[in-house]
Structure 1
Amino acid sequence: MSDNQGVAYVKPGVVEIQSIDDPKLELEYRGKTRKCNHGVILKIVSTNICGSDQHMVRGRTTAPAGIILGHEITGEVIEVGSDVEFIKKGDICSVPFNIACGRCRCCKERDTGVCLNVNPDRPGAAYGYVDMGGWIGGQARYVMVPYADWNLLAFPDRDAALAKIRDLTLLSDILPTGYHGAWTAGVTTGSTVYVAGAGPVGLACAYSCQILGASVVIVGDMIQERLDQAKSFGCETINLAKHGDLAEQIEQILGVPEVDCAVDCVGFEARGHGGDADTEKPATVLNSVMDITRAAGGIGIPGLYVTGDPGGVDENAKIGMLGIRIGLGWAKSHHFTTGQCPVMKYNRGLMMSILHDKAHPAKACNVEVISLEDAPKGYMDFDKGAAKKFVIDPHGMIPATSA
């Protein structure tokens, strides 16, 4: 090692590449050091820029300056802790963005997104993310992963993994997260679905709806380039900057103004529709999906909502208190699922679908591989609405012609 570098958040709108310490099998948090003999050191094969990272970079969270970003990680094991039994040096592994101990009640019930032991402040932890336990992020050359036997998904064949790494890199977060949004909303054979948002998670969700057998997937967004990407793999689309009445637009597609299931892949930086497209209205998506989801339908909410937003439009929004019309959802007997995706519920099955050519999410999400040095530009392009999923290749390990 000794050449470690990472993508650091400097101030709103600014990230830069900084030299950082080599990872060790330990964690320092609030002046205390925890040994992680159950962990491994990874050489990063790929690490992705996520919309959740972008919330921090925009200054819309309480993230401190200097935090090393990155929770979507795939890597090669180069050092193994003394307590690790099954993960081996040389394994190429997908790293769920949720850090989980495998021992607490939530982990044992497969709710790994809210592990009770890896964050002193709240349930749940993640790499390189605000209020998520102080774990160093993986937009770097090397990173430490704790509880390796529990957390890591080792790919069964190195060459096959590298050949499909553009797809497999999405297993750390956005593909399971999109699938989770669709699954928890109840998407199944023949479902009609509305997906709010055509960013990478929204595209992964729309693709997951197709995997699950949806008959029609409608994607709404305000950026035409992203809608064109959704249309490229068979989705119907609605440009919400042009059309304010969502139900009316859905009726033009389906013949009825409602869908069986809806998924919010936007989160707390939502804007109004139509004439209000330039105005931030953080409850817009939640209220609109209740309006257009049929009675007894389901709503998945993988879109991020926070408890602290310095840039919130009002004092309530700054603490995550939004004007949700919950009475409508109650009256229609909707079911809602919120929170982090528990990646380990889905990642192995999705891996098998990729390895056996049943799923090709990189094409749907329009993966573009960039160098670590180009990460700041990737953040800028992503913030402008690029219809791409930026995948960072710190060591030049991703084959130019991978599937």
Structure 2
Amino acid sequence: MAENRGVVYVGAGKVEVQDIRYPDLVLQDGPGVNPLNVGRKCHHGVIVKVVTTNICGSDQHMVRGRTTAPSGLVLGHEITGEVVEVGRDVEFIQIGDLVSVPFNIACGRCRNCKQQDTHICQNVNPDRPGSAYGYVDMGGWVGGQSEYVMVPYADFQLLKFPDKDQAMDKILDLTMLSDIFPTGYHGAVSAGVKPGSTVYVAGAGPVGLAAAHSAQLLGASVVIVGDLIEERLAQARSFGCETINLREHTNLGEQMEQILGVPEVDCAIDAVGFEASGHGEGASEAPATVLNTIMGITRAGGKLGIPGLYVTGDPGGVDKDAKEGTLKIRFGLGFAKAHTFVTGQTPVMKYHRDLMMAILSGKAQIAKAVNATLISLNEAPAGYEAFDGGASKKFVIDPHGLVKA
């Protein structure tokens, strides 16, 4: 049987590349696997040889020790690869197909999946609706920062690229379809971005940059990105965004007025999540900062897209409430301004085909926007360390050395 290696969470602040089990079409017991999922037969699944797999900010939350992820968990939910084995119940996906794997695991059979709410599938995670590869409390499906991975419900989930050679030429863009590009786009759509909109994006990490680029694709007149790290803000400016350094400026409305002539925007996107920091030099962690800020600077009747991750359990939370995901949010302000809040994981399948076509046509330049940076599987631990340090890069792992420099 072929060998397999993957990126494994060892403990707070540490990942290692280790030998791991080669996948088969049964979900085996292992770190983080829900006991009710052990032994689950997946004849509707395929084995994928991973071509690219990306390091995500959501992975970083676990690696920092800010979740209840167990040691030994194989990481990675952003997966693109070539099908090398198909289950007996697979009809339409074939060996050799180059595919994008949505990070949401979805059965295609339940009520939510039939409504395109594939981010809250009812049949893949015994704990609660919604699942993902290599992620804590998501059912235990093995992660894809590896050489090979099993993907269930292949006919329903997989996005096949129409031409393999063309796809490989644009693989650094197409690899973003598994999560980050649909997530940023969902944030912009949820915020109601339309032609002429003024938009504020909180956070210039990869999701924030993807959201900013998505807002531009949707026709926004001005996109403003706020962050504490100047390197990330420079990346946002590289594709036409206005920026605000939140370490230097604490009055966001004042900065908005200098840019727009008014102290508010039409809509806002939270691309930070529960590890948010206060604003200003020396500010400490304050998990409700972004949510309260965007309510303050979004016009009455505006929408707030919230793709930033919030959790129900945070061992490193700043207080007892934060440890269970209870935040001090000014909900009365949101009510008074008649804001619409849209939260939750992104239903990738709602967007990924359209975004694929935008990439293949040259309309979308997502790899450039997020500064896609190719690394080997062995370099993954260093990639995690650099990303944690604030590097303005989206690290793309190439486990088999298949991507051209």
TM-score (norm 2): 0.98
CA distance in 2, matches of 1:197, 1:74: 26
The answer to whether the 8 Å contact 1:118/1:133 transfers is yes
> What stretches of structure 1 of length at least 5 have no aligned partner?
none
Amino acid at match of 1:346: Y
Determine helix, strand or coil for the equivalent of 2:145.
Answer: coil
Cα deviation digits, residues 13-55 of structure 1 (max 9, x gap): 0000000010000113427301100000000000000000000
Q: Partner letter of residue 199 of structure 1?
A: G
Runs of 5+ in structure 2 lacking a partner? none
Q: Are the equivalent residues in 2 in contact too, given 1:114–1:125 (CA < 8 A)?
A: yes
Amino acid corresponding to residue 23 of structure 1 in structure 2: P
Aligned AA (1:246): L
Shift of 1:263: 0.1
CA shift digits 1:88-145 (9 cap, x unpaired): 1000000000000000000000000000000001100000000001000000000000
Matches within 5 A, 1:264-303: 264-275=270-281, 277-303=282-308
C-alpha separation between the residues in 2 aligned to 1:2 and 1:12? 30
Give the corresponding residue for 1:377: 382
CA distance in 2, matches of 1:216, 1:209: 9
Percent identical: 71
Could you tell me how far apart the structure 1 residues matched to 2:402 and 2:342 are?
Answer: 37
1:137 and 2:143 equivalent? yes
Q: Please state how far the C-alpha of 1:75 moved relative to its aligned partner.
A: 0.6
- Once the two structures are superposed, residues 354-391 of structure 1 have per-residue CA deviations (whole angstroms, 9 ceiling, x without a partner) of 11111110000000000000000000000000000000
1:1-400 counterparts in 2 under 5 A? 2-28=2-28, 29=33, 30=35, 32-275=38-281, 277-400=282-405
Residues in 2 aligned to 1:345 and 1:290: alpha-carbon distance in whole angstroms: 27
Q: Number of residue pairs matched? A: 399
Q: Distance in 2 between matches of 1:291 and 1:211?
A: 25
Does the CA-based 8 Å contact 1:2-1:21 persist in structure 2? no
Task: Give the AA of the match of 1:372.
Answer: L
Task: Give the deviation of 1:155 after TM superposition.
Answer: 0.3
Whether the aligned pair in 2 keeps the contact of 1:45 and 1:75 (CA below 8 Å) is yes
Letter in 1 for 2:163: D
What SS class does the counterpart of residue 59 from structure 1 fall into? coil
User: Are the counterparts in 2 of residues 196 and 266 from structure 1 also a CA contact under 8 Å?
Assistant: yes
Give distance in 2, aligned partners of 1:41 and 1:369.
23
- One-letter identity of the residue aligned with 2:103: F
Asked if 2 retains the 8 angstrom alpha-carbon contact of 1:192 and 1:215, the reply is yes
**Aligned-partner Cα distance in 2 for 1:44–1:310:** 32
1:41–1:145: 8 Å Cα contact kept in structure 2?
Answer: yes
Q: Residues 94 and 169 of structure 1 are in contact (CA less than 8 Å); yes or no, is this contact kept in structure 2?
A: yes
Task: Write the letter of the residue equivalent to 1:313.
Answer: V
Q: Give CA deviations for 1:320-354 in whole Å, capped at 9, x if unaligned.
A: 00000000001001001000000000000000011
Q: What CA deviation, in whole Å up to 9, does each residue of 1:253-286 have, x standing for no partner?
A: 00100000000000000000114x5300000000
TM-score normalised over the length of structure 1? 0.98
Distance 2:256 2:93 in 1: 48
Alpha-carbon shift at residue 310 of structure 1 (Å): 0.1
2 CA distance for matches of 1:50 and 1:121? 23
Secondary structure, counterpart of 2:300 in structure 1 = strand
Paired residues of 1:101 and 1:118 also in contact (CA < 8 A): yes
Q: Partners of 1:251 and 1:307 in 2: how far apart?
A: 36
How many Å separate the matches in 2 of 1:71 and 1:295? 36
Residue identity matched to 2:386: D
Give the Cα–Cα distance (whole angstroms) in 1 for the partners of residues 369 and 129 of structure 2: 32
What secondary structure sits across from 1:247 in the alignment? helix
**Secondary structure of the equivalent of 1:228?**
helix
CA RMSD of aligned residues (A): 0.8
Q: For the residues of structure 1 that align with 2:139 and 2:263, how far apart are their CA atoms?
A: 43
| Amino acid of the structure 2 residue aligned with 1:347 | H
Please tell me the residue identity of whatever aligns with 2:334. G
| Moved segments of 4+, more than 3 Å | none
- Give, as a single letter, the amino acid of the residue that structure 2 aligns with 1:391: V
Q: Secondary structure at the match of 2:320?
A: coil
Q: Distance in 2 between matches of 1:339 and 1:288?
A: 19
Q: Deviation at 1:2? A: 2.2
Partner of 1:274, secondary structure, is: coil
